[in-house]
Amino acid sequence: MTPAASLSSASPTRTADVDRAWDLLDALTDPEIPVVTLRELGILRDVREGTAGLEVIITPTYSGCPAMGQIEDDVKALLQAHGLQGRVVTQLAPAWTTDWMTEAAKDKLRAYGIAPPHACATEKPGASSVVQFAARSAKPEVVNCPQCGSANTTETSHFGSTACKALYRCLACMEPFDYFKPY
């Protein structure tokens, strides 16, 4: 379950403004991938009452993500347009992981032409959440083409249109595509 999904469930301490903000923010899309919402990506972590209005908690997909400024502006503008006062808090820990993406987000990425991430090590049975550095495996995981579904693909650059994606080419249909790297 994504952090946003677990935090957004009804609780006795939630106010009408918090519920309204969740409803509004549910439709706010990522500025770099406009078919996926911030909540579906797991970037939107929480909405809570603060001392000066609402606090919207977001976590970047990676340190230095250039979209975070735009996301913060979009959240503030959306709240303000609907008469809600609030601020955006960027929370770095725990670090974002592709495990927080919903299945709907992965389906939308694929339909948009971006191969969704494979499962992270923390999703695999018996895996720990401790970061371990190891040599790259000799056999990389297969990344299926989001256009034609072929497994006959190759990585052409470890960095694609953004640092969180790698650039691949399908050797069957010859189309280039991004692969959202698992974190």
Q: What are 58-71's pLDDT values in tens digits?
A: 999 888 888 999 99
Among all chains, which residue has been given the structure tokens 């735009």?
70
For the residues 156-169, what does the mean pLDDT come to? Answer: 90
Among all chains, which residue has been given the structure tokens 């960027």?
90
- Residue 70 shares a structural domain with residue 136: no
Predicted pLDDT of residue 171: 97
Assess whether pLDDT exceeds 60 at residue 4.
no
- Residue 172 shares a structural domain with residue 134: yes
Among 90, 122, 146, the domain boundary falls at 90
Nearest to 46 by CA among 11, 70, 72, 22: 22
The answer to whether the CB of 153 falls within 8 A of the CB of 169 is: yes
* Candidate from 41-45, 139-143, 150-154, 166-170 with smallest mean pLDDT: 139-143
For the chain, the domain total comes to: 2
In a domain, 155, yes or no: yes
Assess whether pLDDT exceeds 90 at residue 78.
yes
88-147: pLDDT as tens digits: 999 999 999 999 999 999 999 999 999 999 876 554 444 444 454 555 555 668 999 999
- Residue 60 shares a structural domain with residue 126: no
In a domain, 60, yes or no: yes
In a domain, 104, yes or no: no
- Residue 119 shares a structural domain with residue 163: yes
- Residue 48 shares a structural domain with residue 123: no
Q: From the CB of residue 50, how many other CB atoms can be counted at a distance below 10 Å?
A: 13
Here the tokens at position 46 are 């929480």
For the residues 160-176, what does the mean pLDDT come to? Answer: 92
Predicted pLDDT of residue 167: 95
For the residues 147-157, what does the mean pLDDT come to? Answer: 96
Nearest to 96 by CA among 1, 183, 4, 180: 183
In a domain, 100, yes or no: no
- Residue 82 shares a structural domain with residue 32: yes
The SS3 of residue 16 is helix
Domain containing 57 equals 3-90
- Residue 28 shares a structural domain with residue 68: yes
Give percent above pLDDT 90 in the chain.
68
Here the tokens at position 183 are 């974190």
What CATH number is given to the structural domain containing 41? Answer: 3.30.300.130
The answer to whether the CB of 142 falls within 8 A of the CB of 171 is: no
Predicted pLDDT of residue 122: 52
In a domain, 45, yes or no: yes
Polymer length in residues for the chain: 183
